Chain A
């Protein structure tokens, strides 16, 4: 009897959490299919009109391009920096490593609006005109530490004697990295890439301060919510969410396939 009650409680709680997480997203999607301009339940007429308008908009096209450009550059730079950073973090013993481990993770805990403002002031002080390119740099301040941590977990999971063995079997330092270190770190690097892209894709506070005249998807959504709402806002929001979900799914599938092939 008691067992049954516990089970029921667990299921109720799980359902509640899932609803709390996903209901807003569903609401957003529903709002984007509302024919009338202003949002209100129940929806009287459904329409794909706003989706069509969103897809046709030149302004939104540019914004999406900006968001993708920032996210792609952040991904590439972060992963390269974080891979070596993670090796320093988790693989090698060196003087000052403990301090480095703390300092590198600190930016994750900075309030992002404050970090964004600080960056803006910094760019102004040294006379750099802010644009989407400065936003790439700003995103990296926050994302490189996250990706470093993700890859470091992978580094902790591999036996350093593998590198020594390769070296002992005649490899040069570069060969060791190419033949052993990189393939073994690959799952972590892959997760790191997904993290980097998605965190940049959805970042609002850092972009707000550092993109200058350019605008990213989250910035545009906010601006339109403040003034000039149309159902294009939830439409673009839903598209951005779906895009991220697809990327994550594809990333997960590729990861799975790679692991399958390695295990064959």
Chain B
């Protein structure tokens, strides 16, 4: 018996773009905040744009939400040009970094606000607001509560419920979790992901935390200086970063500069030695490159262990990361990071000379 699962049908026919950005630029005077972005947002996906502050991600989001107009380029929603459509006429809704909850309204009034604006009668408004409060896991008796008396996590839920009350096709999030403590943030991230699945709406999320992006997203776009430098699934971003910037954005990494010696072999620039490296992406031929090794792929070699590449160093610091331990190892003038699981921790000893090693397949050879 043949039955197509939803997943199979999805892979057979890629979801069509709901939002399309073509050549989007935004300048403020001489400063270009967003520099020629082309992007297709698939219907129903959870897309996260990550980048450091000043990379232009908030400007990009504000253009999508209609609060800024692009200087150049086109934004289309379902194929229709929406460059100049104001936010109140777009089927999109933004959850602000500050959440922007109305302090003079109760939880219930906040959530029912978009319905009030639409002219829905009071009874229907309340019913819908209570329904949404269940969806975002807010207790029913919060309906009349002063929104300013809610905790940080509760406010997040109110903001989310209010956005859903508008019933947008696309929801935007501008780092709403940035001011939340770590543990609650983890919970809310997972809830947001669940909510995305339950509602089937398109979510576009902006953050400077790649960790946050990794947990929630179907796809991640990494932004730098107004451009999207890489876009792909979390696995692609983690497993095949296009450059050093993306690599370093993913977490702490070891970076070594290398160049081709006269014999064509790779030689260290800031540490001595010859290295065996994986070929660079796209089969490029390079004379200079950066080797990037994640701390969890850097090993401390025992006497009878071997690896493609070796470095001699001295451990001078160690940090507990909970389940893992991070060692700082001085190799010449460079400091290398090694992360070992707690079970494989180094024995404490005064003289901690170690041999570091990594395999070519576990590292990236990048152009810049």
**Interface on A for B, CB 8 Å cutoff?**
159, 161-162, 164-172, 175, 179-180, 183-184, 262-264
Contact = CB atoms under 8 A, between A and B. Distances in A.
Contacts of B92: 168
Contacts of B117: 166, 169-171, 175, 179
B100 A263 contact: no
Interface in B119-171: 146, 148-149, 162-163, 166
27 contacts: A159-B98, A162-B100, A164-B67, A164-B94, A165-B94, A165-B96, A165-B100, A165-B102, A166-B102, A166-B117, A167-B87, A167-B88, A168-B93, A169-B114, A169-B117, A169-B162, A169-B163, A169-B166, A170-B117, A170-B166, A171-B117, A179-B102, A179-B113, A183-B104, A184-B104, A263-B149, A264-B146
B102 A180 contact: yes
Which one of B66, B94, B117 has the highest number of Cβ atoms from chain A below 10 Å of its Cβ?
B117
A162 B67 CA distance: 13
B146 A263 contact: yes
A165 to B, nearest CB: 4
B114 A170 contact: yes
A148 to B, nearest CB: 23
Contacts of A263: 146, 148-149
Interface in B169-204: none
A168 B88 contact: yes
Given A165-B102, A166-B113, A169-B114, 18 more contacts: A159-B100, A161-B96, A162-B103, A164-B96, A164-B100, A166-B117, A168-B88, A168-B93, A170-B114, A170-B118, A170-B166, A172-B88, A179-B102, A179-B117, A184-B104, A263-B146, A263-B149, A264-B146
B366 to A, nearest CB: 39
Interface of B: 65-67, 86-88, 92-94, 96-98, 100, 102-104, 113-114, 117-118, 146, 148-149, 162-163, 166
Interface of A is mostly: helix
Given A159-B98, A161-B96, A164-B67, A169 B104 contact: no
Contacts of A169: 88, 93, 113-114, 117, 162-163, 166
Interface of B is mostly: mixed
B79 to A, nearest CB: 22
A210 B1 CA distance: 97
A170 B103 CA distance: 18
B190 to A, nearest CB: 25
Contacts of B87: 164, 167-168
A167 B113 contact: no
A144 B149 CA distance: 36
Contacts of B113: 166, 169, 179
Contacts of B148: 263
A172 B116 CA distance: 12
A98 B118 CA distance: 38
A134 B104 CA distance: 39
B115 to A, nearest CB: 9
Contact of B65 (A168, A171, A180, A183): A168
Which one of A169, A179, A184 has the highest number of Cβ atoms from chain B below 10 Å of its Cβ?
A169
Which one of B67, B87, B92, B166 has the highest number of Cβ atoms from chain A below 10 Å of its Cβ?
B87
Nearest to A164: B67
Nearest to B92: A168
A175 B96 CA distance: 20
A76 to B, nearest CB: 24
A264 B114 CA distance: 23
A180 to B, nearest CB: 6
Contact of B88 (A171, A179, A180, A264): A171
B71 to A, nearest CB: 18
A161 B98 contact: yes
Contacts of A262: 104, 146
